[in-house]
Amino acid sequence: MQLIFYLVIIVLQFSAIAADYYKTKPNFVQTCLKSDPDFEDCSKEAVQQLFNALGPGLPEIDLPPIDPLNIPKIRILQGDGPVNVNAALDNVVVTGFGRTEVLLSQVDGETYNFYTRVRVPKIRIEGTYDLKGKILLIPLVGSGLCWFEPSNMTIDIVSDVKLYEKDDLPFFNVTKVHVKYNIGGLKLHMSNLFDGISSLEDSTNAYLNANWRPVSESLRPILSKTIEDILLGFMQQIFHNLPGNFMIGDIKTNLINKKRN
């Protein structure tokens, strides 16, 4: 069955004006050397420290907390397939990313693309939903409060990176983020399904929970895109404000294609 994915728009409020970048290395940044045979271990620890610092946010570079993470709106429009949904999630609060555990961190020596694997033991997504569509071929209509709890999520993140120069310092321009994830379980609840016909609401929630694996598979395109958009926003904000040589001490600046105009 063909799944056609139309659109997810997330509105995350990042400051449009670039914040002043870090002139001195902040203490949550650990510098690693690509030439070091133990680069991967060092880099894993460095990325872990970065995640730990991101939990409460970095107001000095206009970065909001990632735990809890507030997302004003997620719009979903997806058709033709096991999921056929027109949905909106508003006032979304995501908790759990503060306990992200970095499992692996690699950096390509030529392109500087990042490859990162993380694990998040428990995530809770809460918000107000408005839904009309089908999941697992069950027609669903309703609006109200909802929550989703994916557990043991492992995420493989490939970040496409371009180097550029600002004030004679190298910076990473994260241009694209590709995500693959797996979860160990999913619990969910949607209140006021079918406008509160409670027998239908209870049985539908029970059915969706009992069939969490196909439910989560059918939500995969939406969730992947959502995670990619969130990560891209955060990574761009971080790396436009954090000189690359703070992270990688022996970064090859000769790779920078200086564009003269």
Ligand X SMILES: *[C@@H]1O[C@H](CO)[C@@H](O)[C@H](O)[C@H]1NC(C)=O
Told to check if 175 binds ligand X by CB under 6 A, we report yes
Which DSSP string do the residues of 160-191 spell out, in sequence order?
EEEEEEETTEEEEEEEEEEEEEE-SEEEEEET
Judged by CB under 6 A, which of 56, 139, 184, 196 binds ligand X? Answer: 184
- Rank residues 31 and 182 by Cβ distance to ligand X and give the closer one: 182
Spatial contact of 85 and 135, defined as CB atoms under 8 Å apart: yes
The nearest distance, CB 185 to ligand X, in angstroms, is 8
| 152 near ligand X, rule: CB under 6 A | yes
Q: Which is nearer to ligand X, 142 or 233 (CB)?
A: 233
Q: Is 187 in the site for ligand X (CB under 6 A)?
A: no
Min CB(58)–ligand X separation in Å: 19
Q: Which residues contact 108 (CB under 8 A, 6 or more apart)?
A: 114, 115
The b-or-e profile of 163-178 (16+ CB within 10 A means b, else e) is bbeeeebbbbebeebe
**Least distance (Å) from ligand X to the CB of residue 152?**
4
Residue 164 interacts with ligand X (CB under 6 A): yes or no: yes
CB of 239 to ligand X, least distance (A): 10
CB 30 within 8 A of CB 46: yes
Tokens representing 258 are 């200086």
Using CB under 6 A as the binding criterion, the count of chain residues that bind ligand X stands at 8
Nearer to ligand X among residue 48 and residue 154 (C-beta) = 154
Nearer to ligand X, 118 or 215 (CB): 118
Using CB under 6 A as the binding rule, whether residue 196 contacts ligand X is answered as: no
Q: Is the CB of 87 or the CB of 107 nearer to ligand X?
A: 107
Per CB under 6 A, 154 contacts ligand X: yes
- For 101, phi then psi, to 5°, come to -110, 125
Q: How far apart are CA 241 and CA 62, in angstroms?
A: 10
Q: Does 173 bind ligand X (CB under 6 A)?
A: yes
Contacts of 89 (CB under 8 A, 6+ apart): 71, 73, 74, 76, 127, 128, 129, 146
Return residues touching ligand X (CB under 6 A).
152, 154, 162, 164, 173, 175, 182, 184
